Chain A
């Protein structure tokens, strides 16, 4: 119990995310590299293709459309 309390006290006293404070600038530099836009465009290519195709299907007046035959009950004299 004493060990647990001591560990918790140490954790509370420690400054948060020491490792990230050190590596954060390197992470940001690696993300915002000169090829950022290229990476972004390549990454979003599958999503753009999907959305483009679907919008074409949604607004197309002829794809997957048909004129239904009237039900028998409405045709009867």
Chain B
């Protein structure tokens, strides 16, 4: 009863979902683009991986970035654990999965704008003179994820069962 009269907060669940989504999206980026396709290396704009030494230096900075992505994922898990104990946070699957998509989308958009377009540290596909198509596809995919995530989070507005009361 008390939970019905006190304010509900979706922010903490959205925050946990965004961090976890950004972390998992970062792992997809690291595994698929960096390792399997051998694209999108962190310093390839400054140091194209055209020889073994430069490729290994890029590999080092890829590792540093993905270590930070791991920290983001672990922090997201910690926030989700905290949310699970709160009675003022609705335990909504739509809100959470929407937030995961928003997190992945934000990862692509923020990384794409800062690293690709502003700083020029690297591009999604470095081995061409026309970097823009792949960079725009990366950003466009991020925007699609943001839109899908936002729609799910909106749909979850009606979910009001508190986290601590749902199990």
Residues of A that sit less than 8 Å from B by CB: 19, 23, 26-27, 30-31, 39-40, 42-47, 49-51, 54-55, 57-58, 60-61, 63-68, 70-71, 74
B11, A64: Cβ atoms under 8 Å? yes
Tally of contact residues, B, Cβ under 8 A: 45
Query: Within the complex, which residue of A40, A51, A68 is in contact with B64, where a contact is CB–CB below 8 Å?
Result: A40
| A40 nearest CB neighbor, chain B only | B64
Number of A-B contacts (CB under 8 A): 97
Query: Within the complex, which residue of A31, A45, A46, A58 is in contact with B16, where a contact is CB–CB below 8 Å?
Result: A58
A49, B53: Cβ atoms under 8 Å? no
Query: Within the complex, which residue of A26, A43, A57, A65 is in contact with B42, where a contact is CB–CB below 8 Å?
Result: A43
Measured between alpha carbons, how far is A55 from B103 in the docked complex, in Å?
13
Main secondary structure of the interface of A (DSSP, over half): helix
Residues in chain A near residue B4, CB distance under 8 A: 68, 70-71, 74
> Is B54 among interface residues, defined by CB-CB distance under 8 A?
yes
Residues in chain B near residue A40, CB distance under 8 A: 64
> Is B8 among interface residues, defined by CB-CB distance under 8 A?
yes
Residues in chain B near residue A65, CB distance under 8 A: 7-11
